């Protein structure tokens, strides 16, 4: 059982939207991702400062994570798109089907696709890949997208040591990069296809609406993708990335990635437990200023 006990990394990094948190990344399977405020930071980013609104929730989430078997990492981005809490945020995890969100973004932004209507076959394939996580459709899409787009998208969302080859299910992703991907998911999709794609991410079939989908705060909607696979070395990979948004423009993004969970149900409970503690008492902000627009990657 994981027994690491440490202070949760709670930050408010004042850096431009879209950039990665400027902190040195630990080894891929290192023991900790908690960084003291004195830790040197890259890209001239200022020292982290505590965000009181998230302190209690983040501490509760990490206390729960410390009791769970397997390996767990998570990250939260607030309404500004800045990381306010996380654990093992820059360590890599086996992606499983969470990676299908990246496949959808790259396919829909492909110059051969972005400005034309989707064929009936393309629409059906992408919808099935997202809403019911069809693996055959993911295999086809993986063979169509350009690898350069996947790596560029990973860089743009601050996903360090991203790697994919051979099979999409073996891709390595990070909690911070996954949360950042979902925070601007709609803005990363070509305008012509944005409404359809976001409808798919909000329409995941009931059998796959576990984890974060079960703890959405009142007044918010969720667009998300989960994943399941057998972990290399034993156990199960159960992961989720999600965008939670309110009609007034408030939005937050959460990613919880796990490897080596004893069972799939156990992994679902880990994600739900972390999400419930992070979102406890969360209410959409009364007014949210518009944040910087960004073109699709």
| 73 vs 160: CA distance, rounded Å | 14
270, 236 Cβ separation under 8 angstroms: no
Question: What is residue 42's predicted lDDT score, i.e. its pLDDT?
Answer: 23
Question: What is residue 232's predicted lDDT score, i.e. its pLDDT?
Answer: 80
Question: What is residue 191's predicted lDDT score, i.e. its pLDDT?
Answer: 96
SS3 10: coil
254, 79 Cβ separation under 8 angstroms: no
Question: What is residue 290's predicted lDDT score, i.e. its pLDDT?
Answer: 54
Question: What is residue 194's predicted lDDT score, i.e. its pLDDT?
Answer: 97
pLDDT (tens place) for every residue of the chain, 297 residues total = 443 333 444 443 333 323 333 233 333 333 333 322 222 222 222 223 436 778 899 999 999 999 999 999 999 999 989 999 999 999 999 999 999 999 999 999 999 999 999 999 999 999 999 999 999 999 999 999 999 999 999 999 988 889 997 788 789 999 999 999 999 999 999 999 999 999 999 999 999 999 999 999 999 999 999 999 888 888 999 999 999 999 988 999 999 999 999 999 999 999 999 999 999 988 887 766 555 445 444
Residue given tokens 């900790």 in the structure block: 32
Count CA atoms within 13 Å of residue 57 on its CB side. 22
| 253 vs 251: CA distance, rounded Å | 7
Q: Which helix (H) or strand (E) holds 273?
A: helix 264-279
Question: What is residue 233's predicted lDDT score, i.e. its pLDDT?
Answer: 84
179, 243 Cβ separation under 8 angstroms: no
Question: What is residue 282's predicted lDDT score, i.e. its pLDDT?
Answer: 86
Using a 10 angstrom Cβ sphere, with 0-12 exposed, 13-18 middle and 19 or more buried, the burial of residue 105 is buried
CA angle 18–84–227, rounded 5-degree value:
75
**Which domains can be identified in the chain, with CATH numbers?**
52-279 (3.40.710.10)
Question: What is residue 287's predicted lDDT score, i.e. its pLDDT?
Answer: 64
Strand order from edge to edge, sheet including 83-87: 83-87, 71-77, 251-261, 236-245, 221-230
């Amino acid at each position: 059982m994981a027994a690491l006990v440490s202070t949760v990394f709670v930050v408010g990094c004042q850096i431009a939207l879209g950039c990665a948190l400027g902190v040195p990344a630990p080894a891929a399977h290192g023991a900790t991702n908690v960084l003291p405020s004195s830790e040197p930071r890259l890209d001239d980013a200022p020292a982290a400062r505590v965000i009181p609104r998230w302190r209690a929730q983040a501490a509760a989430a990490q206390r729960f994570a410390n009791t769970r078997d397997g390996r767990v990492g998570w990250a939260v981005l607030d309404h500004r798109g800045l990381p306010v809490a996380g654990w093992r945020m820059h360590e890599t995890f086996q992606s499983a089907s969470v990676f299908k969100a990246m496949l959808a973004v790259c396919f829909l932004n492909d110059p051969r696709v972005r400005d034309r209507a989707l064929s009936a076959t393309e629409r059906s394939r992408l919808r099935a890949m997202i809403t019911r996580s069809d693996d055959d459709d993911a295999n086809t899409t993986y063979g169509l997208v350009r690898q350069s787009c996947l790596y560029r998208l990973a860089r743009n969302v601050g996903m360090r040591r991203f790697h994919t080859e051979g099979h999409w299910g073996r891709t390595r992703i990070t909690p911070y990069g996954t949360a950042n991907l979902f925070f601007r998911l709609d803005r990363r999709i070509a305008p012509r296809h944005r409404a359809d794609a976001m409808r798919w991410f909000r329409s995941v079939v009931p059998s796959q609406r576990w984890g974060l989908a079960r703890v959405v705060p009142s007044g918010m909607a969720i667009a998300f993708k989960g994943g399941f696979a057998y972990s290399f070395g034993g156990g199960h990979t159960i992961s989720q990335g999600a965008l939670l948004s309110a009609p007034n423009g408030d939005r937050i993004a959460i990613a919880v990635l796990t490897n080596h969970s004893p069972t799939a149900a156990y992994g679902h409970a880990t994600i739900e437990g972390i999400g419930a503690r992070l979102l406890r008492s969360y209410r959409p902000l009364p007014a949210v200023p518009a944040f910087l627009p960004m073109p699709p990657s």
